[in-house]
Amino acid sequence: MKKVIVTGGAGFIGSHTVVELNAAGYVPVIIDDLRNSEERVLEGLEAILGSRPRFHRVDCTDAAALGKAIAGEGAVHGVIHFAADKAVGESVEHPAKYYRNNIGSLAVMLEAMIDRRIGQLVFSSSCTVYGQPAALPVAETASDRDASSPYGYTKVVCEQLVRDQCQAAPSLKAVMLRYFNPIGAHPSGRIGELPRGVPSNLVPFVAQTAAGLRAQLLINGDDYATPDGTCIRDYIHVMDLARAHVRALQWMDGRAGSTCEVFNLGTGRGNSVMEVVKGFEDVNGVKVPYAIGPRRAGDVEVVYADTRKSHDVLGWSCHHDLRDALRDAWNWQRSLKP
């Protein structure tokens, strides 16, 4: 049984990846300080997996605590590093917090991996490194240092840190996955997105509005140069995203020698904010009251993925579409106790 450390494994994408790791025969070990998640995620995972995953409540910037947790696990096959803060708006208000945590936790983890001779890393990156791409769909070869927020720049720096570490220690193999817009939930309704406070992301806000927890959705601008005037994104089902992490580990297993590769994780299709709202209403038979507000600072107009490299090289592609994700997002919202 191959043990895989999943930092941030109690988070949205991390918890769904734990499910897929287990399904693929790996033994996931969660390391998470629960700053942006809750212990009840472990209960949801237990309901899905049939047993509670191993868990260490550790801040990944704490080298001593992280080293102790990893040492306690014995032989470890690989690391999937999700642990990071990821709210674009918050990063503008608190850049130091973002640089310290996002870059610091990765640096500490890389040192721990070298120390423990763990040779495989999957790093959670983001399409925000592209900023507003010059050409669409955006490919991995596009300019990737044009982030439009401190959050995005932490991902730019982290990617460079991983590349430098792979150069310095050829025994380390790394895959960096650039997520587009993860949405949806596990079809069981046992785990899903748990935004703290007011959601900054679109789909959880839509779901909470449909559930009557929010009075209305404010659409951030409808004067963009898009067919309906609202921004376009590439919304990917979180289960497809989770499965890509397992594929990345398997792909590295099959490669000899130094490896450091970047892959886009998107559907390759763009949908507007209005299409998401109307799609959510249609697939779930609910109403989502909304009003048009001003543009949101930092928003790019249109971004969606070129998925050829992920398909041709990684051997991964999406199985779910937007409607599946919006259905599962609503199923999860309804399962949440008010």
- Catalytically active residues, by annotation: 151
Q: What is the spatial distance between Cα 308 and Cα 314, in angstroms, rounded to a whole number?
A: 9
Give Cα separations from 93 to 14, 89, 149, 150, 195 (angstroms): 25, 7, 10, 9, 18
Nearer to ligand WQD, 127 or 318 (CB): 127
Nearer to ligand WQD, 62 or 299 (CB): 299
Binding stretches for ligand WQD (CB under 6 A): 86, 88, 126-128, 179, 181, 200-202, 205, 217-220, 231, 233, 273, 296, 299
HSE-CB of 317 using CA atoms within 13 angstroms? 9
Give the pair of three-digit tokens for residue 25.
């025969």
Instruction: Name the minimum Å distance from CB 296 to ligand WQD.
Output: 4
Instruction: Name the minimum Å distance from CB 198 to ligand WQD.
Output: 9
HSE-CB of 184 using CA atoms within 13 angstroms? 25
Instruction: Name the minimum Å distance from CB 280 to ligand WQD.
Output: 12
Instruction: Name the minimum Å distance from CB 150 to ligand WQD.
Output: 12
Nearer to ligand WQD, 220 or 335 (CB): 220
Nearer to ligand WQD, 231 or 239 (CB): 231
Q: What is the spatial distance between Cα 114 and Cα 136, in angstroms, rounded to a whole number?
A: 38
Give the pair of three-digit tokens for residue 299.
């928003």
In this structure, what is the dihedral angle of CA atoms 260, 54, 28, 51, given to the nearest 10 degrees? -170
H/E/C letters for each residue in 177-200?
EEECEEECCCCCCCCCCCCCCCCC
Nearer to ligand WQD, 108 or 183 (CB): 183
Q: Which of 245, 194, 190, 238 is nearest to 46 (CA)?
A: 190
Instruction: Name the minimum Å distance from CB 212 to ligand WQD.
Output: 16
CB 41 within 8 A of CB 10: yes
